[in-house]
Amino acid sequence: MTLSTVICIGMAGSGKTTFMQRLNSHLRAKKTPPYVINLDPAVLNVPYGANIDIRDSIKYKKVMENYQLGPNGAIVTSLNLFSTKIDQVIGLVEKKKDDYEHCIIDTPGQIECFVWSASGSIITESFASTFPTVIAYIVDTPRNSSPTTFMSNMLYACSILYKTKLPMIIVFNKTDVKKEDFAKEWMTDFESFQAAIRDDQELNGDLGMGSGYMSSLVNSMSLMLEEFYSQLDMVGVSSYTGDGFDNFLDAVDDKVKEYEEFYKAERDRILKEKEEKEKDRKEKSLNGLMKDLGLSDAQKKHNHTDGHESDSSIEVISDLEEGEDDGIVARDEDEGVEREYTFAGDERMTGEVNEDATPDLQKRYAEALASTAKTASSQTAENIARYIRE
């Protein structure tokens, strides 16, 4: 039994959590319970038993208060804090890899907080480099029955595919309300999608002429999407009735095979390339450091015998010109602007920093950073120490 990971991503309200709940109970009924992870720090109730829940280690509301952040900033910061522990999380899942067939992961409702944040990439990458990993992109089928909305959603899915470089299944959810047949037709028969654009009243008004700027834009973008559709699997499910979940599991099996055959080789190649670049970068920064420390040429030459090249032409590169400030943009003066709807005086509303809670979070941040820094730069630090000793 090899464990594979399914990461559920989708627009807010597409039904990720309900889908996770149904998938969990479906797999349990088949006597193959999944390993479940919740990565949504802001969710109030998780309606399924999670093996790992981000809310156990990160208190979303505290993050909001202590760092004076809005809801989305707090989700990103919570994910940042969590991603510093990702090694431990992967370790926990790895220990269970012989007992489970699937590890299913729920992500925050605010899709961009996960997909476009550094921590989202770190978390996805960590899973994808350890286990075969598949993205389940959840679509609210009834809400995507207009060709314009449908295409916007597909463009988003396309950007996720190219960002994560992982096999993807488009899951048309809520088929108890609207069947997914129209979407499948649009994805496989370009003519029928064009006909839908022509008839779409949102684009063309009541006359349905199909001659507007928008419809020609949608037309050309849909051509581009044809290539994207060819790389996907699509299934229709109802998280309410449980319809289509066997098909979904078959699609996961197919995509895991695809991952092993194509994606893994491609990922390994990219990782190797990255590793080599990183090695190069470290070597250059070590040499730069030697230069900064003002070590003599003789010492440098001595180092050559150790296999370390040194290049005196290397300079420390900075985006800032000499004499320029540190790039921090100063806050504009308020210039008499009267703020409306403020909640001054009410601590609960202003989100003032809770002095008691801050040190704890700060400490955790510092510890997490220290341990990350330790692993990431220990090689460089050792090299430096050895060089200085010499």
Ligand X SMILES: Nc1nc2c(ncn2[C@@H]2O[C@H](COP(=O)(O)OP(=O)(O)OP(=O)(O)O)[C@@H](O)[C@H]2O)c(=O)[nH]1
**Binding positions for ligand X, rule: CB under 6 A:** 10, 12-18, 40, 109, 173-174, 176-177, 238-240
Closest distance of CB 138 from ligand X, Å: 7
Q: How far, in Å, are 117, 121, 140, 150, 233 from residue 199 at the CA level?
A: 38, 40, 22, 15, 27
Q: Which two tokens stand for residue 245?
A: 């979940």
Closest distance of CB 50 from ligand X, Å: 14
Rounded-to-integer distance, Cα 110 and Cα 112, Å:
6
Closest distance of CB 49 from ligand X, Å: 16
Phi/psi of residue 47, nearest 5 degrees: -80, 20
Using the minimum distance from each CB to ligand X, give the nearer residue, 15 or 147.
15
Phi/psi of residue 55, nearest 5 degrees: -70, -15
Using the minimum distance from each CB to ligand X, give the nearer residue, 143 or 198.
143
| Contact predicate 1/101, CB 8 Å | yes
Closest distance of CB 278 from ligand X, Å: 36
Using the minimum distance from each CB to ligand X, give the nearer residue, 12 or 270.
12
DSSP code at position 13? T
374, HSE (Cβ side, Cα atoms, 13 Å): 7
Q: Scanning the structure block, which residue is given the tokens 């996907």?
A: 232
Closest distance of CB 52 from ligand X, Å: 17
Using the minimum distance from each CB to ligand X, give the nearer residue, 130 or 247.
247
Using the minimum distance from each CB to ligand X, give the nearer residue, 60 or 193.
60
Closest distance of CB 10 from ligand X, Å: 6
Q: Scanning the structure block, which residue is given the tokens 């990461």?
A: 7
Q: How far, in Å, are 40, 79, 334 from residue 120 at the CA level?
A: 11, 7, 35
Closest distance of CB 355 from ligand X, Å: 32
Phi/psi of residue 210, nearest 5 degrees: 70, 30
Closest distance of CB 229 from ligand X, Å: 23
Closest distance of CB 261 from ligand X, Å: 31
Rounded-to-integer distance, Cα 383 and Cα 379, Å:
6
What DSSP element (H or E) covers 140?
A: strand 133-140
DSSP code at position 261? I
Rounded-to-integer distance, Cα 126 and Cα 123, Å:
5
Using the minimum distance from each CB to ligand X, give the nearer residue, 14 or 222.
14
Provide the 10 A C-beta neighbour count for residue 3.
Answer: 19
Q: CB nearest ligand X: which residue? A: 109
| Contact predicate 174/142, CB 8 Å | yes
Using the minimum distance from each CB to ligand X, give the nearer residue, 176 or 258.
176
Using the minimum distance from each CB to ligand X, give the nearer residue, 44 or 316.
44
Q: Scanning the structure block, which residue is given the tokens 């802001």?
A: 42
Using the minimum distance from each CB to ligand X, give the nearer residue, 13 or 91.
13
Rounded-to-integer distance, Cα 179 and Cα 238, Å:
9
Q: Which two tokens stand for residue 57?
A: 């280690």
Using the minimum distance from each CB to ligand X, give the nearer residue, 26 or 174.
174
What is the sign, positive or negative, of the torsion defined by CA atoms of 202, 207, 208, 214? negative
- Give SS3 for 137: strand
- Give SS3 for 106: strand
Closest distance of CB 3 from ligand X, Å: 24
